Structure 1
Amino acid sequence: MYDLGDFVEMKKPHPCGVNRWEITRMGADIKIKCTGCGHVVMLSRREFEKKLKRVLEKADNAE
């Protein structure tokens, strides 16, 4: 699964050419930030799961 701070790949790349996103907020909606240009997109959890391709890198939550 995915968690806050993870880097994910979506099915379609961002227009800036990068397809690496960081999850910055989780709840009923999920906010992701493009690692290339910094653009922020907010999607419903259902829409996010539909567009998610894979998790690239898990966050290091050493708490």
Structure 2
Amino acid sequence: MKILAILLLLSILYTLGSAVYYMIKDKGNSTRMVKALTARVILSLTLFAIMMLWVYVEYIHGT
């Protein structure tokens, strides 16, 4: 389960980096940056939902 969280976190960082790359390379002439940021938001929400589920089933302990 921890590997899943780490993979999602790395995917989030990758999409953030690709968004920065597309912003610099395309100079606002395409929608690739928006698509990369949309993917980042979806991955972040997925990671948050999975962690909330883990707390609910007591895989990890909340405060």
TM tier, shorter chain?
Answer: under 0.3
Higher helix share: 2
TM-score (norm: length of structure 1): 0.24
Larger radius of gyration: 2
TM-score (norm: length of structure 2): 0.24
